[in-house]
Structure 1
């Protein structure tokens, strides 16, 4: 791991290199059904479930493949949000009363967890047997949703959905074409960056996973992780009179280890990251503030920012310094070897939100660092040494002289725990199909399938047995520590697939994990006294306390449905192992976690997932059609949630 540390004398997250982090651990027991699977020649037999021929995603035309991916995402949303059942004859028929037509879609794979695979959509009825592309499908679904809601959705938001679907399809086509032309690893040789820039198709149950309104084609080349973009940052010089900042960053040194490390102000960190070129242009006593170049151009047109520039309280230094690389979130940037990443404000609408940092999120990142340093991190790491939070321990922003933050200028300084050999992959990137060197141009595979099949070959074991063991190790190294934090500290993490990183050893087995995101912490109101006893005032200014019933609902969606059930769906959709087997393994894991060893505290989530016949699930299509921004307003009103069947229920 990277030797720099924001945590004082506590070892850097991850401890030993990922290649050796499984040394001395026992192999989880694999259920007999998987262990008994047979092989064929030197390649283990894969269970049936994924079509090997005629996959719509594997068309040689990248635009057609991108359109198929978008249509499939829209269909998954519609099926989930309208509780559509599996068709007995293998053809999904969706009658749309608002337009008087019926969609006919062949089902290639029906998933118990929602990761369905579909063939090409056809329009049946008065219009005849006509093909339907993703843009037309979005228009039809928008009209139907408006009809079903009595006009509460649709209208301008329906038109906006169509535009964003078109934008997402076009960008996905560009990403696929570029990666098909150069499927090999990037020149940087940084495994974390390689994984972050590999998420080509995005969220599998989202209508517009790659939409980026306001980004020109030229800008997309530099700012898109999928195109392996990179760019120098734009720098402002900030007068200390309007600077806002906080830091709980500590440099570890041998002399300061006994005192918990040397505190480092955010301004000092920013100067270290800026480098000599920016330092030479910096007016005396001013502090450097990094911005995304797109954001720097956009905020100049905001009156509040322009007044500060005119008054000389902000000075524009332009783009300067070394190149930084966008990660999978687009706005967080990484520079291999740097001690920190930067989570920049970016006013583009990406998926469901404009991605400008909110001041309460910055406060929350520093607060979490301080909470963990009260001894909670030491207890957590003693129980689960392979897991940690990627810390956001410092931030900078600008306050208006008349009071309040200046929107769009807040920047998070995120600790970078990853060295170039640390194989840390977010689950979304692990499960997203992409081209690979040595395979036919049109062939798409997720890294999950590549890793599991390589393990099966090297161990001479059936793919299903290896896939099941991989999943069991994931539950132990990643899910169990997240449940521990809820049980022992009353803090639930918004651990969806984008925010959850799995550390892979040199063979491809899960050996640890990380959580990232200063937005996604839920402090249970029932644990308020305990949390504030640990850190007085915690959760107040950061607006982090959430009612237990809302916490339970969100935790069940993010960790239960999106993360683990989504991972099960990816295994099934790739034909690596049947979903019923992994669901049984997940139930067994949850039963163990629901009881707890020796009366230890337990999270409510395992019992909820085991016993509830239905679960509440975020509805990305309806959220988009309601025009909701998921970063605005209280947690319980930021998104539309629907009730879905629980595949884990008895």
Structure 2
């Protein structure tokens, strides 16, 4: 007989408060909102755990539990430090993006079976990944991880609830750039806390959240030029609205030419302008507060980057907020890396770009001088702005990370609705995917082979423009993530004229540049597209991975030896690299993440 223990209730008020899941400040989200957030949180945690512990297929025909205890799907059994985690898979995924049933149990070494809720599963998974330490760091790290996971769950549930309250169902209007950027409700499918935002507790943040449909005026500061550091591709162009400059002229009068203007996120302005050391800069006239003004800015899916459609300008702004696992400020090193990448791409645009593949350029950065005696050097990153104007044609493109998600409460990915709307009806998704590979896989490999430039082509950096529902142009953004094959790129004729340092963090060995391409495009990007299409059609992912294999077989016969070698490696390798977000967060390796091997899905389907 199977003995099932019900979860015990907290023995004291103190224990109850420690176990409680945080709830939003304003109101408690509905049951439906919390249920979707819970399913998404557990799915990401379980899939990350499986990927990062090398379990490529957890299905187990015999679990020892009676069928009535299990939810719909194939049973799975996963060995943890506390026993066996038992549940069901509603959908098995070759790339590891499994979907789970709602019922989970733990069977301990004595055979006792206990139903688990979300908090139990979080605790059991984290304990199984971490080794006890001799000091208190073990418990502190577990507490920190639980706090971030619950923060993400809470914020996700609140965003979903806001969608249900204000919209209810998927909009009928065609998706545009802003609508896509502001409807990424679930986030990275292999991150333990994709919607975590720590630090926002200091001041209300919901009015600045893209998931809430936010738009707002930016705050502006006038920076005296002796405090300013800036660098540009083609000379200073601050990309600000004429109305902002006019206000500055009126406020500064004869001093106008001695100052430069800096846009600041309004949340960041509220934080910085309340700090004593920044007050001193204002009193000395090194900074002048011009307040909030100018055209409306729309936050994109990254939260801190904004888009101003009235002037065609975008800014990558700093925020003193931990979004996922990193404080999102712009260090001077990151800014210089971005501009170094922009310089190279600017000189290679004719070799990199085509009608099918384009790059959203970053044109410069502006910040405060960390070496100025009046400034605490660590403050510079809190002011640094990276300028990212948007090409007119890219304003019709949508971020892929959002396209692959359904709206809350829906089953169909936004991409499918966008295809149908553009094409005026259903299309053959096998043919559509073949066309997609021609604007994504093919140019990304050709560019790496020809120039040594590797883009960080994950789903949130990739924008897709459709024409009549079919893939037309793929846009790459966020040049900070570009990596360069040192051996290839330094042989380019243009290289000596760029002034990029020999020890630039942009430069990688050929092997590292190649596996970064494998992860960011093939595992993260293509894995997401394949899973979304296969799930929508109710078919196995192998159907689309075979198409990837066919495309690579064609490229393996190319005259370009490097291109052929890349394609052949992708076909023949037993494993592809994948970022280990769960382990990296647990071990506090956010700036230098860990990677693991996953099985090559093309070889798995033969």
**Alignment check: 8 A CA contact 2:169 2:407 kept:** no
Equivalent position of 1:155 in the other structure: 139
* TM-score, normalised via structure 1 length: 0.78
The CA RMSD measured in Å over matched residues stands at 3.0
User: Aligned equivalents of 1:118 and 1:455: distance in 2?
Assistant: 33
Work out which of the residue numbers 368, 383, 388 in structure 2 matches 1:398: 368
Q: Which has the higher contact order (CA 8 A, sep 6+)?
A: 1
> What secondary structure does 1:615 align onto?
strand
Indicate whether 1:265 and 2:236 are aligned: yes
Work out which of the residue numbers 303, 306, 311 in structure 2 matches 1:338: 311
Indicate whether 1:115 and 2:97 are aligned: yes
Distance 1:628 1:613, change over 3 A: same
Distance 1:599 1:104, change over 3 A: closer
Work out which of the residue numbers 513, 534, 537 in structure 2 matches 1:575: 537
User: Aligned equivalents of 1:330 and 1:387: distance in 2?
Assistant: 25
Equivalent position of 1:326 in the other structure: 299
Structure 1 window deviating more from structure 2 (407-416 vs 541-550): it is: 541-550
Work out which of the residue numbers 324, 327, 335 in structure 2 matches 1:354: 327
CA offsets 1:197-226 (integer angstroms, 9 cap, x no match): 111111111110111112249733211111
**Alignment check: 8 A CA contact 1:467 1:576 kept:** no
> What secondary structure does 1:347 align onto?
coil
User: Aligned equivalents of 1:275 and 1:624: distance in 2?
Assistant: 43
Indicate whether 1:93 and 2:77 are aligned: yes
> What secondary structure does 2:191 align onto?
coil
Equivalent position of 1:316 in the other structure: 289
Equivalent position of 2:23 in the other structure: none
* TM-score, normalised via structure 2 length: 0.83
Equivalent position of 2:414 in the other structure: 447
Indicate whether 1:425 and 2:386 are aligned: no
Distance 1:543 1:274, change over 3 A: farther
Work out which of the residue numbers 412, 415, 418 in structure 1 matches 2:386: 412
Equivalent position of 1:51 in the other structure: none
1:232-251 to structure 2, matched below 5 A, reads: 232-249=217-234
> What secondary structure does 1:602 align onto?
helix
> What secondary structure does 1:396 align onto?
strand
Work out which of the residue numbers 129, 137, 141 in structure 1 matches 2:125: 141
CA offsets 1:87-116 (integer angstroms, 9 cap, x no match): 14221222322xx24322210010011111
Aligned-residue offset at 1:332: 0.5
**Alignment check: 8 A CA contact 1:116 1:573 kept:** no
Equivalent position of 1:549 in the other structure: 511
User: Aligned equivalents of 1:603 and 1:292: distance in 2?
Assistant: 46
Structure 1 window deviating more from structure 2 (314-323 vs 507-516): it is: 314-323
Aligned-residue offset at 1:522: 0.7
Aligned-residue offset at 1:302: 5.9
CA offsets 1:20-65 (integer angstroms, 9 cap, x no match): xxxxxxxxxxxxxxxxxxxxxxxxxxxxxxxxxxxxxxx9611111
Distance 1:601 1:615, change over 3 A: closer
Work out which of the residue numbers 333, 340, 349 in structure 2 matches 1:377: 349
Aligned-residue offset at 1:470: 1.6
Equivalent position of 1:584 in the other structure: 546
CA offsets 1:506-549 (integer angstroms, 9 cap, x no match): x3211111000122111111124324743332255852111222
Structure 1 window deviating more from structure 2 (287-296 vs 402-411): it is: 402-411
Indicate whether 1:510 and 2:471 are aligned: yes
**Alignment check: 8 A CA contact 1:477 1:511 kept:** yes
CA offsets 1:377-419 (integer angstroms, 9 cap, x no match): 12333xx323111000121111031496722111011011146
Equivalent position of 1:491 in the other structure: 453
Indicate whether 1:646 and 2:584 are aligned: no
Instruction: Report how many aligned residue pairs link the two structures.
Output: 550
Unaligned runs of 5+ in 1: 1-58, 250-263, 436-441, 631-637
User: Aligned equivalents of 1:502 and 1:205: distance in 2?
Assistant: 22
**Alignment check: 8 A CA contact 1:101 1:123 kept:** no
